[in-house]
Amino acid sequence: MKRGLFSILILSFLSASVVWGETLPALPKGPLLLTGMTPEQLSPDYWINRLPNPDQAIKTPEELELFNREIDAMVAERVDLFALERERGGRSVRDQLRLEFDTVRGRILFDVEGKRIRQDLFSGEIGPNMGFDLVSARIRLKWGVATQATSIRALPTQVKMLEEVGDIEFDQLQFSLIKLWTPVAILHESRDGAWFYVQAPYVRGWVRAKDIALFSSRDELKQWASSKKILVVTGESIAIYLDAALTDSSLRASMGTTLPLIAQSESAYEIRIPTRKADGSVLIGPAYVDLKSDVSIGYPAFTQRNVIRQAFKLLGARYGWGGMYDGRDCSGFTHDVYLSLGVQIPRDSKQQGLVGTQLGHFEPGEYEREKINALRTGMPGNTLLRMPLHMMLYLGEIDGRFFVVHSTWAERVSMTSDEKNRINQVVVSDLSLNGKSYLGSLFDRIVSINELN
């Protein structure tokens, strides 16, 4: 790690995390203070106090409901599960399964020990277990819900497949993480019964069957998924207790999770959670959230103040490709921030860049003046800046410098090689970051700017 990365040299590190038998690089204690930043700029109030009307609603609840419907209509990644046909032709599902299988099998990928992924893993294990021959001519969809946060995978396997040797934090099979209570339509089941191929509201892929509980009908699932009284997780994550005494906290829920709210006592909120019975069916039961937890009854107002406050609650949180290691990648960060306010933006960064008002589209390294004009037009705390494979939330301009908050893995620091400093968390930076690398600065590489209004 190069000393030039930080204006404050942090020597004390947390112990390395061990996940799935792997040791992850340790994170520094507390949010990183990058070069050129001041400690005050790590406070949300620093940015909020610069705004003329931070509490003015960007959209009213009624306008937001319409906005979410527009997002569903325009973005292919967003799917209204309850508008799906209850049956569909098996051929289209089988063709999609085959395409996804062949796409991964055709890549050069490595395991966590640095060895090339063997073709016989595909032909002898993964392919047969996908059960192409088990897809019937007509598929009657089944309906379920996630009983905890769980991964959506490209293929039905826990084997990690890496694009580069040693890149253990970037499993190419990891699509995304769906949250507790996420509804899913089940299209297919693996031969061994351990995996479901599902469509979730913002991602499609394979999920472990043990994390999905089945409803008897779509209407029953919709009733719970459309609960009018909800508790929204507005902190980075919260504990969910299985007892009213608040002693058994074996379950957690992350920012943006919505929980059916039943009652409130002097010490706790009573909610409902789904569990999976031995036969796979759902059992809805009581659970509890400490009254002191960072939650909201219903969604907070969609304002600049609340967007920025939600973003800064994740400052210092671990970067996690596709939600791995209980972290958030760049678009997972922006997704959770907006989801906690009821704004249902897509999960993928490219799709996020299509939402709202388009302020500019650019080629990397070009259109400097146009980018500056677009940035000065954008609303701080509600404008997304997209690079190829990266997304950032705009905070504002100070003395000609443009600032963002984003979840990023590393800073490139060389003009001749891919040498990098690990950041690996949510940070505040200006757009000059990476400027001393062959890739160019964040500013140079912006390809689109859009405001969510």
Question: Which residues are 230's β-sheet partners?
Answer: 260
| 313 and 382 share one domain | yes
Q: 397: domain CATH number?
A: 3.90.1720.10
Domains in the chain: how many in total?
Answer: 3
Place of tokens 């704004």: 343
| 71 and 93 share one domain | no
Q: 277: domain CATH number?
A: 2.30.30.40
| 256 and 382 share one domain | no
Question: Sign of the CA dihedral 250, 254, 259, 265?
Answer: positive
pLDDT at position 164: 94
pLDDT at position 147: 99
| 293 and 313 share one domain | no
| 252 and 356 share one domain | no
Q: What is the pTM of this model?
A: 0.93
Q: Report d(CA 35, CA 8) in Å as an integer.
A: 8
Q: What residues contact residue 80 under an 8 Å CB cut-off, 6+ apart?
A: 72, 201
| 49 and 117 share one domain | no
Residue type, position 89, single letter: G
- Domain extent at residue 118: 86-224
Q: Report d(CA 353, CA 334) in Å as an integer.
A: 11
Residue 270 lies in a domain: yes
pLDDT at position 16: 47
Residue 161 in tokens: 């497949």
| 241 and 332 share one domain | no
Block means of pLDDT (10 residues each) for the chain, 453 residues, are: 36 41 61 92 99 98 96 89 95 98 98 97 98 98 98 98 94 98 99 99 98 98 96 99 95 98 98 99 99 99 99 97 95 99 96 97 92 98 97 98 96 77 93 89 97 95
pLDDT at position 437: 84
Last residue of a domain, one of 297, 330, 348: 297
Residue 198 lies in a domain: yes
Residue 81 lies in a domain: no
Residue 406 in tokens: 């984003």
List, in sequence order, the alpha helices (H) in 191-264: 218-225
Last residue of a domain, one of 243, 265, 297: 297
Picking from 288, 296, 303, 363, the residue whose alpha carbon sits closest to that of residue 338 is 303
Q: What residues contact residue 389 under an 8 Å CB cut-off, 6+ apart?
A: 330, 349
| 243 and 199 share one domain | no
Q: Report d(CA 324, CA 169) in Å as an integer.
A: 8
Q: Report d(CA 172, CA 284) in Å as an integer.
A: 34
Last residue of a domain, one of 249, 280, 297: 297
| 14 and 25 share one domain | yes
